[in-house]
Structure 1
Amino acid sequence: MSLLKTFRVAQTQPVHPITFMFLYMPFGIFNGFISVTMGFLLTKAGVSLAGVASIVSLPYLPNILKFLWAPLVDTTLTVKTWYRIANVVTVIGILATSITPHNSHFLPLLMVIVFLTAVANTNIAMTTESLIAQEVPDEHKGRAGGWLQAGNLGGFGVGGGAGIWLAERMPAHWISGAVIALVSLLCGLGLLFLKDPAPFQREETYVKTIGTLGKEIWVLVKSRGGFLALVLCFLPVGSGAASNLWSSISSDWHASPDAVALAVGFVGGVASAVGSLLGGWISDKMDRKKAYILFGLLEGGAALLMALSPRTQLMFMIWTTIYGITVGLAFAGFSAFVLEAIGKVGAATKYNFFAALSNIPIYSMIFVDEWAHNRWSSTGILTAETVMPVLGAIIFISVLFFARMKPETVNRD
């Protein structure tokens, strides 16, 4: 049997969710490369924390706005075609940020490159999520969400940890970017094992098609499950925002560059991936929304214990690893409750409607952490990371109480 026929046969068989992990990895790789590797290199070059924050937080802006172009994935071209385009642009963007000098004078140029690449990179997420919604049965959505976020957070560790490790050892920074970009490109091979989902029902005009898709979202939001999922997206629970600033505050724990690369990169990526798989499994065993709140509180607890621990390199490595596990739990919990809510129709748009909203508290928490750092150093960051999930849990419990009488509307598949 030829290789092409082998892949065609594979596309007719149930796919193992590990495929979605590899497909999602370029999304995490890009964000890890910008947040950790670029953050480290810019800090090393003498750029202020505010300048670093302006770069590492920038990818979140397209992730907040991505619901605006998510309908393109559902209504034009094919899902697999959109994935290929997004991955190629991501590769080019990583290379471009590697070639650009890493100092304060080139921050405006870096911001443009990062923003444009981040816009394209969002399509990695959209297309993979659409494939999951179509391929995975409802009872396994938590497990699939775990593998999805294992790719996200594991990719973050590759782009961040491996990026720093290579940047410290290679004769030129662009070599690090080239290797990371190649890994991202190869992840797209997972498409060979999947068929394209059925396209969204198209009307006589594109405007009418978008209108129909909008009605699908409105029906979803009016349902009890959709409404509660919407509320969860606005809460500062399970944001994992401190992960974006570990490399910038690592000196408070006297952590060496190699220790940071190991803890935030390889070990952190593995820890987050393990947390994601565990979180996906747990989410299939209990109410998925309550599981997400539980995971967020565990993340806050890890931040609290880190704040109370001695400021040593060993403690930095231990607590960032534990924090990474809880971030994996929370991210898997998020994917699980959203995949449960959206059904199959217009999956890319529906999922990213929720995902875009969920990036608002994540994006905000970066600046809350920066504000807390400016006043109380790293202790302020960890205190903010402890308090906000508790407030979020209180708000959700209150909303859940008042929403109990709201009738459920079943989503159309």
Structure 2
Amino acid sequence: MLLPNLLASRRGRLGAFFALYVTEGIPLGFAITAIAYYLRKQGVGPAEIGAFVGSFYVPWAFKWAFGPFVDVFRSKRFGHRRAWIIAMQLLLSATLAVLVVFDLPAQLGLFTAVLFVHNTFGAIQDVAIDSLACNTLHEDERGLANGLMFAGAAIGQAIGGSGVLFMTAYTGFQSSFFFVAGSILLITFFIVLPMKESAVQRIQGAAGEAGEAGASGESEPSGGGLRQAGREMREFAVTSFRSFMGTRGAFAGVGFCLLPMGAMALGLALRSNLSVEFGLDENETAQLELWSNIVTAIGMVLGGWLSDKLGRRSTLFVYFCLMSLPTAWLAWKLQQLGYVMPRPAGARQPEFALLLWIASLVYNVFNGLMYGTRAAIMMDVTNPKVAGTQFTAYMAMSNLAIAVGATWQGITIEAFGYPVTLGIDAAVGLLLLLLLPMIRPPREGEEAADAPARRARGSAWVLALLCLAWLPFSQWGEAFGKARGVVDLFFTLIFVMSAVLLTAAWAMLPRQPLTRAAPWIALALLAVYVRKFFDPGLPVQLATGVVALAGAALLLGLARQRWSELSLS
């Protein structure tokens, strides 16, 4: 059977990228809906489920690091981006097949590790698909194509979440892994394999290959390719950091993306947890998730239209407030009815199920209204000269915020119960309102020449003090009681942010002992994440304290640098 090359026509391109984004949504829906539901039904606690869902988003927070490798390493036989997409989809399917052998929940740790690798392949695939879209779509197709791509991701989530839950009611959970893998492979076979990148794209891809060895033409020499990828990653770090510090709006955008996207609990694993505890079976949960996806998609279209008519900041202000309302309402109702701490799965409780349906559907309308508008406002403060780099970095930080949000919510549910978690989520979701007035393009003459440098020095001071705060926390953290795990999680976020600033300093500032040490301390700050897998005894506390102290010392040194490279010309 001769299959058509969809990239050769306008309708084909639109359909192809819609289908490719379906493969991105399938694993997401499978993890945060189907697997989360199954784990809770097997008695896994909300904290473990929250950590599981949080780990799923981590690779997407660092997908920018995969971009240089996708750009540099090419295959002439299979096509530059097409080769990456085929390889990643095959690996996505293979890792899903591997997951079948694990015994849940007994082997949840190994299961999560393999799924983390699986999702890393998904993040790399996303980079390759976006790269192919940028080099394939005509200018007059991009708006519609992006809308269809987001719609494809939503359909994929429905397939991986609702579709799996509908199916498992009849076939059991283990068979769902093959269903999800098969869904991805169908798109590989019918959509990706027949693709042919155009002659223009091959010429563009070959431009970077001139003078490179390799008679087979399969890929670049590893040494040269790795060096080039390293140069691209360094350039990305420098460009992103300059863009973030360049204007007040762009700098506020960093905090805006690191904060939760409004109230988030009803869009993460908490809803699946409550579905199990309220006695909803697989079919009823699948219906809830399906309708949630439908109203979210409708809200996305309506929200974008309203923001064009009424302005993005004003509409986002309303959307963020509205997202907190159903979250706070559900917290109040659960507290009123005495449903506080997590409970084992039981018989269906119609009154609680109705509350969950109402809160979820209303929340997803407002969440949909917010979603596209929030992405659009970040484009407003993005420097057009480096739009791809800066916007990618913003979206990566947003994924990191989701990972942190899913994790702290699971910890808080077990420590304080559902009403408190929902109440905190509703309140924290409003913090974005403080930054929203600053998310705007700069006015002419508004920025002083040394403003970006001052922001860099101020960031280094603040992060240094926060790293030093780890030392007393490690000694007297018990004073936080049940909240200690949440505070510890936010120190992890502080260490990651410090590592990013140290990496930017190494890439940007002149070579000196301070900057030469920066990448090594940055790696150490990232590595302390693994402390969560060890007993929090003296050796772990001591090692983390040494790294935090070294990071703080280096940041204090950077706070005294001129950062003249950032000064506006």
Q: How far did 1:113 drift? A: 0.8
Distance 1:214 1:344 in 2: 15
Distance 1:345 1:132 in 2: 18
Distance 1:395 1:365 in 2: 19
Out of 17, 25, 28, the position equivalent to 2:25 is 28
Q: How far did 1:295 drift? A: 3.4
Q: How far did 1:110 drift? A: 0.2
**Cα distance, 1:99–1:394 mapped onto 2, change above 3 Å:** same
Q: Which moved more, 1:332-341 or 1:174-183?
A: 332-341
Alpha-carbon displacement from aligned partner over 1:169-205 (angstroms, at most 9, x marks no partner): 10x4332221222222334555549755955985996
Equivalence for 1:44: 41
TM-score, with normalisation over the residues of structure 2?
0.61
Larger Rg: 2
Distance 2:409 2:30 in 1: 20
1:391 aligns with 2:431: yes
- Structure 2 counterpart of 1:164, one-letter code: L
Unaligned runs of 5+ in 1: 408-413
Q: How far did 1:247 drift? A: 1.4
Structure with more relative contact order (C-alpha pairs < 8 Å, separation 6 or more): 1
Q: Which moved more, 1:327-336 or 1:86-95?
A: 327-336
SS of 1:57 mapped into structure 2: helix
Number of residues paired by the alignment?
A: 399
> Residue 47 of structure 2 contacts residue 412 of structure 2 at CA under 8 Å; is this kept in 1?
no
Out of 79, 84, 87, the position equivalent to 1:85 is 87
Q: How far did 1:373 drift? A: 2.0
> Residue 166 of structure 2 contacts residue 283 of structure 2 at CA under 8 Å; is this kept in 1?
yes
1:42-191 superposed matches below 5 A: 42-77=39-74, 78-103=80-105, 105-133=106-134, 135=137, 137=139, 141=143, 145-170=146-171, 172-188=172-188, 189=190
Q: How far did 1:301 drift? A: 2.4
**Cα distance, 1:20–1:331 mapped onto 2, change above 3 Å:** farther
**Cα distance, 1:187–1:371 mapped onto 2, change above 3 Å:** same
> Residue 49 of structure 2 contacts residue 410 of structure 2 at CA under 8 Å; is this kept in 1?
no
**Cα distance, 1:37–1:401 mapped onto 2, change above 3 Å:** closer
Out of 244, 258, 261, the position equivalent to 1:221 is 244
Alpha-carbon displacement from aligned partner over 1:349-392 (angstroms, at most 9, x marks no partner): 54432222112221222233224423542222321231112112
Distance 1:346 1:249 in 2: 40
Out of 292, 303, 306, the position equivalent to 2:327 is 303
Distance 2:313 2:13 in 1: 25
1:257 aligns with 2:287: no
Distance 1:18 1:223 in 2: 38
Distance 2:84 2:133 in 1: 15
Q: Which moved more, 1:271-280 or 1:193-202?
A: 193-202
- Structure 1 counterpart of 2:424, one-letter code: A
**Cα distance, 1:39–1:315 mapped onto 2, change above 3 Å:** same
Distance 2:132 2:70 in 1: 11
> Residue 296 of structure 2 contacts residue 368 of structure 2 at CA under 8 Å; is this kept in 1?
yes
- Structure 1 counterpart of 2:186, one-letter code: L
Distance 2:314 2:409 in 1: 26
Q: How far did 1:345 drift? A: 6.6
Distance 2:235 2:294 in 1: 41
Equivalence for 1:9: 8
Distance 1:262 1:390 in 2: 30
Equivalence for 2:300: 276
- Structure 2 counterpart of 1:178, one-letter code: F
Deviating above 6 A after TM superposition, structure 1's stretches of 4 or more consecutive aligned residues are: none
Distance 1:354 1:325 in 2: 24
Alpha-carbon displacement from aligned partner over 1:147-181 (angstroms, at most 9, x marks no partner): 333333332222112222222210x4332221222
Alpha-carbon displacement from aligned partner over 1:46-104 (angstroms, at most 9, x marks no partner): 2222232232221122122222223222333233322222222222223332442222x
> Residue 276 of structure 1 contacts residue 330 of structure 1 at CA under 8 Å; is this kept in 2?
yes
Q: Percent identity?
A: 20
SS of 1:166 mapped into structure 2: helix
Q: How far did 1:251 drift? A: 4.6
**Cα distance, 1:79–1:177 mapped onto 2, change above 3 Å:** same
SS of 1:374 mapped into structure 2: helix
RMSD, aligned α-carbons: 3.7
Distance 1:67 1:326 in 2: 29
